[in-house]
Amino acid sequence: MPVFRALRLDKSDGEFRREYVELDDADLPSVDDPDQPGTHPEVVVDVDYSTVNFKDALAVADQSPIVRTWPMVPGIDLAGVVSSSDDPEVPVGQRVVVNGWGIGEESWGGLAQRARVRGSWTVPLPDGVSTAEAMAIGTAGYTSILCVLALEEHHVTPDSGPVLVTGAAGGVGSVAIALLAARGYEVHASTGRPEEADYLTTLGASTIVERSELSESGGRPLARARWAGAVDAVGSHTLANVLAQIQPEGCVAACGLAQGMDLTTSVAPFILRGVTLRGVHSVHVPRARRIEAWRRLDEDLDRDLLASMTTTVGLDDVPAVADDVLAGRIRGRVVVDVNA
Ligand SMILES: NC(=O)c1ccc[n+]([C@@H]2O[C@H](COP(=O)([O-])OP(=O)(O)OC[C@H]3O[C@@H](n4cnc5c(N)ncnc54)[C@H](OP(=O)(O)O)[C@@H]3O)[C@@H](O)[C@H]2O)c1
């Protein structure tokens, strides 16, 4: 059995440990249903790249109950090549991306050189997307396109008016700006880092909104209608203030909680302006929608812009990067080359 490296977290005995270990395929836990063996055919993936999302940072730094079973290989994303397969739908040699489905939380994830996953969790990568680009996009970018699709489904078009992206310099925000601008939207970007204004403008934002304009509590239930729609990665008071400033019939795609999980608002935007608050999740999205999301990412996302928002690190750098993510020091996306 080939030996490979993994970052492994453990808290089985109550004390948190983080270590780099050498494993072989026999160490990779089954992800089939133990009560009905064979119902979820498995594949083993030679991982090329993973990433450090906000959730991964919390898991690696043991800051929030992300991990449900111990020991755990973290990493909610991976991209690589199928090296063995029990699933007739997923051939050996297929380039795949896996986002969510509880990897890095309930079953072992992508911060390792090999991973065992259910075949049904894999999405074949479009020919135009490399495994490195897939992880530059990662769950953050894939969630961004889900938000864009949600706005489109609620008839927010480039003709409807400007759209807002909150948490703009983060991973979800950066990709959302690039995707919306590519489709011709006028994008306003809310950030707490004014020094990133040039970066956000390069991605396609035309107006920078100071984070503090939106992040305070006690805002009015309805205010001047500024935006036709919004992608909100922040939640809390920011989401409440954004809802109050959405145009009639507009929509907010809410996917994040960077400011907080709370939401204190009123019904005014809904009953007086017909505003839609559309929740966006990424973990258990059906495969067909994932395939459409990756097709749209391939079509819409400018690869030079993606490169400009991406930093690449090695597996050994992950704990330090996790601290940076949690401290808000990371701009855009971080790719982990697990073989570096
Ligand atoms: N629903 C889902 O399935 C899903 C999927 C992916 C991510 N998420 C969530 O989406 C959020 C963003 O993820 P990400 O990967 O983009 O994280 P990230 O790269 O860490 O970016 C978060 C951004 O939010 C802003 N921010 C941070 N703290 C804030 C605060 N206290 N008040 C207001 N803004 C603040 C910052 O943007 P500026 O510096 O520009 O202000 C920061 O860059 C996270 O909460 C994550 O858990 C959810």
Pick the CATH number of 3-125+309-337 from 3.40.50.300, 3.90.180.10, 3.30.9.10, 3.40.50.2300: 3.90.180.10
Q: Where are the domains of the chain?
A: 3-125+309-337, 139-279
Pick the CATH number of 139-279 from 3.30.450.20, 3.40.50.720, 3.40.630.10, 3.30.750.24: 3.40.50.720
Report pTM: 0.95
| Atom of ligand 1 minimally distant from the CA of 193 | 39
pLDDT tens digits, residue range 204-259? 999 999 999 999 999 999 999 999 999 999 999 999 999 999 999 999 999 999 99
> Using CA positions, which residue lies closest to atom 37 of ligand 1?
167
- CA 93–ligand 1 middle distance (angstroms): 35
pLDDT tens digits, residue range 15-63? 999 999 999 999 999 999 989 988 999 999 999 999 999 999 999 999 9
- CA 234–ligand 1 middle distance (angstroms): 6
| Atom of ligand 1 minimally distant from the CA of 139 | 6
Pocket of ligand 1 (CB under 6 A): 53-55, 139-140, 143, 167-173, 191-193, 211, 215, 233-234, 238, 255-259, 280-283, 325, 328, 330
- CA 316–ligand 1 middle distance (angstroms): 24
- CA 53–ligand 1 middle distance (angstroms): 9
| Atom of ligand 1 minimally distant from the CA of 189 | 40
pLDDT of 3 reads 92
| Atom of ligand 1 minimally distant from the CA of 257 | 45
- CA 111–ligand 1 middle distance (angstroms): 21
- CA 142–ligand 1 middle distance (angstroms): 14
pLDDT at 2 over 80: no
pLDDT of 328 reads 85
pLDDT tens digits, residue range 121-145? 999 999 999 999 999 999 999 999 9
Q: Which two tokens stand for residue 157?
A: 């078009």
pLDDT of 1 reads 60
Which mutation among 191, 255, 290 tests ligand 1's pocket best, with the greatest number of atoms within 8 A of CB? 255
Which mutation among 139, 172, 193, 324 tests ligand 1's pocket best, with the greatest number of atoms within 8 A of CB? 172
- CA 235–ligand 1 middle distance (angstroms): 9
Does the fold of domain 139-279 match that of domain 3-125+309-337?
no
Amino acid at 190: S
> Using CA positions, which residue lies closest to atom 27 of ligand 1?
258
- CA 138–ligand 1 middle distance (angstroms): 14
